[in-house]
Structure 1
Amino acid sequence: MKRRDFVKSGIALGGAAVSSPIISYGRNAADPVEKHDFKLKYAPHFGMFESHAGKDPIDQLNFMADTGFMALEDNGMMGRTPEMQSKIGDTLAKRGMEMGVFVIDKGGNSQNSLSEGKQEFIDIFLEGCKRAVEVAKRVNAKWMTVVPGNFQRNLPIGIQTAHVVEALRKGAEIFEPHGLVMVLEPLSDTPDLFLRTSDQTYLICKAVNSPSCKILYDIYHMQKNEGHIIQNIDLTWDEIAYFQIGDNPGRKEPTTGEINYKNVFKHIYDKGYRDIMGMEHGNSMPGKEGEVKLINAYAEVDDFKV
């Protein structure tokens, strides 16, 4: 069956029923794409829908909105020109979309580790926080991602934790007057990283003790590092401000790995979460068919009873 006929049949890839109307996206009206009414605010990244929308970020934003995604994530937002940031912010507002996280720029040196306690690294971090406030204004963002850096094998863990807490308290002082929130992300990319688990991040947020310092719970990373996703979400719930998504193994869209995302999303929804779910993953297939597969995967796992 050709993909066009397959989509017209109203049946999503993976077997989930699709009830939303078909839309024809601007560049090629012969390529219909389903529009979905998602229960949660899933936020794609630029590049996920280039085959349909082209390389222009604004065209991609419009495609996201046209297919039912009402939020955006852009880790590299701070690297864009102020003019493009403002254009993205204006388009988000026009389409009724929300801005998810972007990563706070620490000065271009990935080895700047707050766990070391060095003043030069703290200064770079705080300067990044100040610039992030201006970026957040342009795109109407609320959340910014922070990763404290690497683990130090020559320092006790308690000393490193104290260094991180002290630096984050200073960062929180910058964000609090603006109602902005830095979200700490424990990662699985390398065991050299300082921040690795949800309970460790929970402890740090409690110690910082600020509404501007919360947890970014990335389900992909936490499945790799600790598992017990639903249990650990419950244990750290009062400090979680943001979620990110990616199936494991592979870090692609839901339904491509081992995580039961339909159950996880229902649990998060039932607990009252209505903020953004960042789609920080790749596409499992290339081209337009891969993009349709991704959209329909979200329709499938979002199809839970409320």
Structure 2
Amino acid sequence: MSSRANSPFQLAVCAEMVFLDLPFVERVKRIHEAGFAVEIWDWTQKDIDALAATGARFTSMTGYISGNLLDDDQIEKLLETAEISIEIAQRLNCPSLNLHGTGLDSQGLPVKPVTEVTGAMWIKAYQTLCAIAKLGERHQKVFLLENLNTLVDHPATPFAKARDTLTLISAVNSPWLKMNLDLYHAQIGEGNLIELIRESAHFIGEIQVADVPGRKEPGTGEINYPAIAHALYETGYRGVVGMEAWASGDSSVAIERFQQAFAVRL
């Protein structure tokens, strides 16, 4: 199966969430053999040489180990570990590195919960992201700021909504800092996805998808992903669309459904 033959987008699959009965490197091989690019999360627990040897095309990975956007000592850690992550991205020939509004633990919960975002926090986050963009420019890597949802998966995460990330990204206004617009999270927290895509189009570096409820592949829930694909196409977007979703059953069937959802029929 070839994603390029059937979709105008660069289709990728998150290896953390499919083929769970296989060792991680084998998951990457299966995704690659199916014709998709690969996305990974925390690289610190992975055999980077083995991943590189698969021949897979990696489109994004977590771009930090620790730190956040707001606290001076944590900002220093964020920048330091982002630079280390860039070295790994270079070994994998991965163009994009993913960030969140704060550091997340192994359960996806914020290491330092924030219940109220103040004006001073917005300014500090903007300044930190300016520094991140400069780091990306220096190494020719794009950092992506991902929106999350606080109702189901990531409570007390600052700058979680897609319109929050859009505000920050547009303020920095650098080609080395883009949005990772996660439509699963946006549907839970905001809705109105097609209008959100149109508003954000100029600042999108990647789209991530899963259906709602359940965070499974497109076609298992309430989001009309063929309509989403058409709207994305109309904006001129031709970049990465990553399936960051659990398989509802067989993983091969799940990624085929994902491919079908993003085969734009004009």
* 1:211–1:151 distance in 2 versus 1, CA, 3 Å: farther
CA contact (8 A) 1:78 1:132 kept: no
Tell me what 1:164 maps to.
125
Question: Is 1:136 equivalent to 2:89 in the alignment?
Answer: yes
User: 1:35, 1:126 → 2: CA distance?
Assistant: 37
Deviation at 1:46, TM superposition (A): 2.4
1:130 match: secondary structure: helix
Any stretches of 5+ residues in structure 1 without a counterpart? Answer: 1-33
Residue 80 of structure 2 corresponds to residue 114 of structure 1? no
Report if aligned partners of 1:224, 1:248 keep a CA contact under 8 Å in 2: yes
Deviations along 1:239-272, whole A, 9 cap, x unmatched?
1111101100000000000000111112212333
Note the C-alpha offset of 1:184. Answer: 0.6
Where do residues 213-292 of structure 1 align in structure 2 (5 Å cutoff)?
213-285=177-249, 290-292=250-252
1:174 corresponds to which residue? 135
Unaligned stretches of 5+ residues in structure 2? 103-111
Partner Cα separation in structure 2 for residue 173 and residue 76 of structure 1: 23
Q: Separation in 2 of the partners of 1:299 and 1:121? A: 39
CA deviation after TM superposition for structure 1 residue 35, in Å: 6.2
Which consecutive segments of 4 or more residues in structure 1 shift more than 4 A? none
Q: Following the alignment from structure 2 to structure 1, what is the Cα–Cα distance between the partners of residues 230 and 113?
A: 35
Pair 79,38 (structure 1): closer, same or farther in 2 beyond 3 Å:
farther
Does 1:98 pair with 2:57? yes
- Closer, same or farther: CA 130–299 of 1 in aligned 2, 3 Å: closer
Amino acid at match of 1:157: T
> What is the aligned partner in structure 2 of residue 294 from structure 1?
254
- Which residue, 82, 88, 113 being the options, matches 2:51? 88
Contact residue 246 and residue 252 of structure 1 kept, 8 A:
yes
State the Cα deviation string for residues 158-196 of structure 1 (Å, max 9, x = none). 111111111111222211122211111111123411112
The superposition leaves residues 5-52 of structure 1 with CA deviations (integer Å, 9 ceiling, x where unpaired) of: xxxxxxxxxxxxxxxxxxxxxxxxxxxxx666431322122251255x
Q: 2:31 is matched with which residue?
A: 64
Q: Please report the RMSD computed on the Cα atoms of aligned residues, expressed in angstroms.
A: 2.2
Q: Which moved more, 1:230-239 or 1:206-215?
A: 206-215
* TM-score (norm: length of structure 1): 0.75
How high is the sequence identity, in percent, across the aligned residues?
Answer: 26
Deviation at 1:293, TM superposition (A): 2.6
Cα distance change on mapping 1:134 and 1:251 into 2, 3 Å:
same
| Inter-CA distance 63–38: structure 2 relative to 1 (3 Å threshold) | farther
Moved more, 181-190 or 60-69: 60-69
What is the number of equivalent residue pairs in this alignment? 251
Normalised to the residue count of structure 2, the TM-score between the two structures is: 0.86
Partners of 1:277 and 1:72 in 2: CA distance: 11
